[in-house]
Amino acid sequence: MEKKVKALLDTITFLVFLFFDFVDVVLCVAYELLDELFEAKPFPCYCGKKLETKELSETLFWRKNVFREMGFLSFGRKTCEAVKKRDDGNRGEVVNRWSDCGCDSCVSWMKKSNQKLHVVVKEFPQVNSEDGPREEATTENVIFLHGFLSSSSYWTRSVFKYLSEPLNHQIYRYFAVDLLGFGKSPKPNDCLYTLNDHVEMIHKSVISAYELSSFHLVAHSMGCNIALALAAKYPKFVKSVTLVAPPYFSDSNDETSSSMALNTVARKTLWPPLAFGKSVMTWYEHVGRFFCFLICKNHTTWERIFKLFTQTRELNFMVVDLTRHTHHSAWHSMHNVICGGSKSMDDYVGILINAKVKVWVIHGDQDLTVPLDCSNNLKMKFPQLKLIIVQNVDHGTVIFHRKRDFVKSLQHIWATS
């Protein structure tokens, strides 16, 4: 009986994703035609041949589509190839895509020549004692990086209010960053959102802008890949790295780390609904763009509707963050950071180990988004890491259901580093 049920579910899953294969090919043609009409500088899709560049993840190109492989609607494929080969230099300046949101926050990158990330800073001033000024305090800087489809609010609305000045002779400055393409940060259309793009913007917006000579890093989920890349680039600046639920995937005999990442974090499944949505948005470039056209482009309208129906003045920040991106930024960050970035994680961790930087890993044992095996495998590969496994919590509750304990863990890590 169980085998029959499983076979039925597998058949339904196959048919559903076969339907999305067909829709994605049709939308490929539709978007190419619409981009030709409305875009000043169309961005090529990834339905054609693989581009020879190390910056892009191979998962962008090898996502198999039954109808595309059969040559069905080959006109769409030829059109994609034509766009890739076309000289875009005479098409005019890059403007916001017609299918992306045009609100002030989302198009802010078009109005600034010197783009920087949105950064929230929390700082504790030096306080004098009754007997006069206390001894000169040292400044400790901490940079917080959020995960996929999130923003700096992930930290400012959770752990920031529990952060305090733990030692008499230390002043802490906390920086919560909206990563490139998310939250209130710029969302440029001529960017591929590679690990290097994210690292360069963090350096420009935080390390250079605030003249940091040393700092701790705290990152969650996708932010862990960026944190490791940032720390490996500036190992002499980094005092500690805390990774919460890192999407770590090592090579196997049959799969590269990139494909392992894609098949783990965005496995094709119908249940639960969140996993189904993530698989559709990750595997199907044009279907994903269509849903972003309906939701993200009109996020301000949806927010007003939700406020009206819920009778609340302010929506939950996690609901708002889900729509504060463009398809272009989310699509490339998923593939180039989470999937493609997994290829370099061993090298990054190796650099930090050799530089004697303390690396801590915190993971919930009920995490279904990024399985606990990721951190266990990371610990097995690098025994020098400190691994903390938290019982009965998942990808989000590892922080949100234990904010005080999480802050205590951070303060212990900073003090011992």
Q: What is the pLDDT of residue 367?
A: 97
Rounded to 5°, the CA angle 286-187-231 comes to 110
Distance CA 160, CA 216 (A): 15
Our measurement of the distance from residue 346's CA atom to the centroid of its chain's CA atoms, rounded to an integer in Å, reads 19
Q: What is the pLDDT of residue 252?
A: 59
Total Cβ atoms within 10 A of residue 101: 23
Beta pairing, strands 386-390 & 215-220? unpaired
Show Cβ contacts of residue 47 under 8 Å, excluding neighbours closer than 6 positions.
25, 28, 65, 68, 76, 77, 80, 285
Beta pairing, strands 215-220 & 138-145? parallel
Q: What is the pLDDT of residue 75?
A: 54
Instruction: Specify the CATH class of 108-126+136-255+334-416 in words.
Output: alpha beta
Beta-ladder partners of 141: 173
Q: What is the pLDDT of residue 73?
A: 54
Distance CA 181, CA 117 (A): 9
Q: What is the pLDDT of residue 135?
A: 52
Tell me, letter by letter, the H, E, C secondary structure of the chain: CHHHHHHHHHHHHHHHHHHHHHHHHHHHHHHHHHHHHHCCCCCCCCCCCCCCCCCCCHHHCCCCCHHHHCCCCHHHHHHHHHHHHCCHHHCCCCCCCCCCCCCCCCCHHHCCCCCCCCEEEEECCCCCECCECCCCCEEEEEEEECCCCCCCHHHHCCCHHHCCCCCCCEEEEEEEECCCCECCCCCCCCCCCCHHHHHHHHHHHHHCCCCCCCEEEEEECHHHHHHHHHHHHCCCCEEEEEEECCCCCCCCCCCCHHHHHHHHHCCCCCCCHHHHHHHHHHHCHHHHHHHHHHCCCCHHHHHHHHHHHHCCCCCCHHHHHCCCECHHHHHHHHHHHHHHHHHHHHHHHHHHHHCCCEEEEEEECCCCCCCHHHHHHHHHHCCCCEEEEECCCCCCHHHHCCHHHHHHHHHHHHHCC
Residue environment code for 135-171, b if the CB has 16+ CB neighbours within 10 A, otherwise e: eebeebbbbbbbbbbbbbbbbbebbbeebebeeeeeb
In the sheet that 386-390 helps form, which strands lie side by side, from edge to edge? 119-123, 170-177, 138-145, 215-220, 238-244, 358-364, 386-390
Tokens at 377, concatenated: 């495998």
For the chain, the distance separating the N- and C-terminal CA atoms, rounded to the nearest angstrom, is: 56
Instruction: Using alpha carbons, list the distances in angstroms from residue 91 to 42, 80, 83, 198.
Output: 9, 17, 12, 27
Q: What is the pLDDT of residue 109?
A: 83
Q: What is the pLDDT of residue 331?
A: 96
Q: What is the pLDDT of residue 176?
A: 98
Q: What is the pLDDT of residue 178?
A: 98
Give the pLDDT means over successive 10-residue stretches in the chain (417 positions).
Answer: 86 95 92 86 79 79 81 55 48 75 82 87 68 61 97 95 71 95 93 96 97 96 98 96 95 74 92 91 96 93 90 88 94 96 94 96 97 96 96 96 95 90
Distance CA 232, CA 352 (A): 6
Q: Specify whether the backbone of 272 is left (phi greater than 0), alpha (psi in -120 to 50) or beta.
A: beta
Q: Would you please indicate which residues are annotated as catalytic (active-site) residues?
A: 146, 221, 367, 395
Our measurement of the distance from residue 51's CA atom to the centroid of its chain's CA atoms, rounded to an integer in Å, reads 23
